[in-house]
Amino acid sequence: MDVRGDDGCRLWVEQAGAGSPLVFCHGGPGLWDYLGPVARLLDENARIIRWDQRGCGRSQRRGPYRLDRFVADLDAVRDQVAGPRTALLGHSWGAHLALRYAIEHPERVSHLIYVSGTGIDPDNGWHPHYKRNLRLRLGPQLDRWEALSAHARTPAEEREQAVLQWSADFAEQRTALDHAERMATPWLGINRECNQALNREVKQELRNSDMVRQCRALELPVLIICGTEDIRPRWAVDSLHHALVNSRRVSLAGASHHPWVEKPDDFRRAVTDFLKQ
């Protein structure tokens, strides 16, 4: 189905399952919803609502690419599909979007599931560690990834570069490229303008706003899920965990940035137990 944002932007939405609503926020920014496998893990316990963020995937390729606009789009999905109150699950960049929505509209959120996010550190201190770990994890694929990253790419090269980079987000390197290939199929194209604009704004937001104070005022239950093998250092999430007054943190051993892929049973158990609260 389609949802219309309050400015008329068309947003692609899909729902499955039965029960209380659970809205997903995919990562990126600038990607599309790749959380179908998570929906299949959870749709016996919740009504799963997935959507492509504006300018991305199957949604209308239209700006502006601003955090307040994405929060408003999420509110339109919540209002038109989920109902007056919903649980949220955000992955990576989507975890920050879901957190920002919960801060602005706590009365509209029952539970927040924050998966593989990077916390609220205003100094962005995790990023140098991520870049180093990415290069290490790429191993024999590093030279090709660097070559592709160094010049303007054709659409086929854009996909190849993304698959190589995404392969570093899986702990088991024997199967990492296969997992990354599945993420890139179908290939819907990365919106680089969206990616750059939102990453820039989030950095400014963390530097200039008092996210710690805002998180301390958030009383709804929050589940933080991380994989111990994520190349983004997990200590980056410490400041968020300490700021929240009602949070649980689950670290899945042997999992990386997509913990539902490598530890599906543990991931499902953590989420379903949390939603029963």
Q: State the DSSP string of 56-79.
A: STTS-------HHHHHHHHHHHII
Average pLDDT value for residue range 127-137? 96
Nearest CA among 195, 178, 171, 198 for reference residue 262? 171
Specify the pTM: 0.97
pLDDT of residue 44: 93
Length of the chain: 277
Residues 243-269 have pLDDT tens digits of 999 999 999 999 999 999 999 999 999
Write down the mean pLDDT value for the chain: 96
pLDDT band at 277 (very low <50, low <70, confident <90, very high): confident
pLDDT of residue 209: 81
Residues 210-255 have pLDDT tens digits of 999 999 999 999 999 999 999 999 999 999 999 999 999 999 999 9
Residue 137 has pLDDT above 90, yes or no: yes
pLDDT of residue 124: 73
First-to-last C-alpha distance (Å) of the chain: 30
pLDDT of residue 123: 79
> Computed from CA positions of residues 225, 216, 28, 144, in that sequence, does the dihedral angle turn out positive or negative?
negative
pLDDT of residue 202: 95
Residues 58-94 have pLDDT tens digits of 999 999 999 999 999 999 999 999 999 999 999 999 9
Residues 169-194 have pLDDT tens digits of 999 989 999 999 999 999 999 999 99
pLDDT band at 120 (very low <50, low <70, confident <90, very high): very high
